[in-house]
């Protein structure tokens, strides 16, 4: 019988970096020489890092960004070539890790901010779109890119994009591989804020710090309710809302928020 062991937190990552400070985790895709292309190793480490963030109660906001000139150009096609006939197996293994990471980040209470510092293509664009909020450098570009190499989209893009920009625009991006500038992406609703290149991480850090001081438990309920909005009926969504607001009223954050309201002071939330 095999024994499954948890990842040793003292072991270093090799394809990403994960730093935590004052309630904010910064997750950096760290393969700058390949423009942060997603290899099997990177997707595996991304899944492990997402699990670390999700299970660490001190993490109350997460920033995802890329090192170097790109956020991520998507799948590492060089590794596909090396895999030969095993590409279908490789892609199933990679998407298992990538999708686990995206699912965990979507379901965790801490808000997730994508700080898109450069090109976001393929799975890189998918990852950026799956974040709760997305900031983009003025020089950033967004493209699906999958069908350009005869592949289909992954990384949650077929779930999120139609919900964010509509079906027609989603098909346009996925079938034509049209590239969007940061300003176009903002106009379409894919990006919340566009900032000067050198200001991306500063702005993301300011936002993450503000969110990390907020009612994290309530944030988590908001995230989980919104994931289900398109699959629930009106009555089903109303029931989710009723249960969530009732549950959130039991939290320490609500007690503090209510007290601060009546005492006319700024609340000090603890995420519980």
CB distance 44 to 97 below 8 Å? yes
Q: Which of 99, 196, 202, 254 is catalytic?
A: 99
Tokens representing 245? 């607001």
Q: Which of 76, 132, 154, 253 is catalytic?
A: 154
19 belongs to the catalytic site = no
Listed in sequence order, the residues at least 6 apart from 76 whose beta carbon sits closer than 8 Å to its beta carbon are 34, 37, 38, 39, 42
What SS3 class is residue 29? strand
> In Å, what is the CA distance from 107 to each residue of 154, 155, 167, 228?
18, 15, 24, 11
For the question of residue 254 being annotated catalytic, the response is: no
Task: Sort strands 141-143 and 180-181 into parallel, antiparallel or unpaired.
Answer: antiparallel
Are the beta carbons of 153 and 95 closer than 8 angstroms? no
Cα 43 to Cα 186: distance, rounded to the nearest angstrom:
27
Strands 24-29 and 16-21: antiparallel
Query: What does the alpha-carbon distance between residue 116 and residue 160 come to, in Å, rounded to a whole number?
Result: 17
Active site residues: 99, 154
């Amino acid at each position: 019988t095999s024994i499954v062991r948890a990842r040793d937190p003292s072991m270093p990552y090799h394809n990403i970096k994960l730093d935590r400070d004052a309630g904010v985790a910064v997750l950096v895709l760290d393969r700058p020489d390949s423009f942060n292309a997603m290899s099997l190793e990177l997707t595996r480490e991304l899944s492990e890092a997402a699990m670390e963030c999700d299970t660490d109660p001190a993490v109350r906001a997460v920033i995802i960004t890329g090192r170097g000139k790109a956020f991520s150009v998507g799948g590492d096609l060089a590794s596909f070539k090396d895999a030969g006939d095993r590409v279908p197996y490789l892609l199933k293994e990679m998407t298992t890790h990538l999708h686990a990471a995206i699912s965990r980040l979507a379901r965790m209470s801490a808000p997730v901010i994508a700080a898109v510092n450069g090109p976001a293509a393929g799975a890189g664009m998918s990852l950026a779109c799956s974040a709760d909020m997305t900031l983009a450098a003025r020089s950033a570009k967004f493209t699906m890119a999958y069908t350009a190499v005869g592949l289909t989209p992954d990384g949650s893009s077929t779930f999120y994009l139609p919900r964010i920009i509509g079906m027609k625009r989603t098909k346009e991006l996925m079938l034509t591989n049209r590239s969007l500038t940061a300003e176009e992406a903002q106009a379409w609703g894919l990006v919340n804020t566009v900032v000067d290149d050198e200001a991306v991480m500063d702005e993301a850090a300011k936002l993450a710090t503000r969110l990390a001081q907020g009612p994290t438990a309530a944030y988590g309920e908001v995230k989980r309710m919104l994931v289900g909005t398109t699959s629930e009926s009106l009555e089903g969504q109303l029931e989710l809302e009723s249960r969530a607001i009732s549950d959130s009223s039991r939290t320490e954050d609500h007690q503090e928020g209510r007290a601060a309201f009546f005492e006319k002071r700024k609340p000090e939330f603890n995420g519980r």
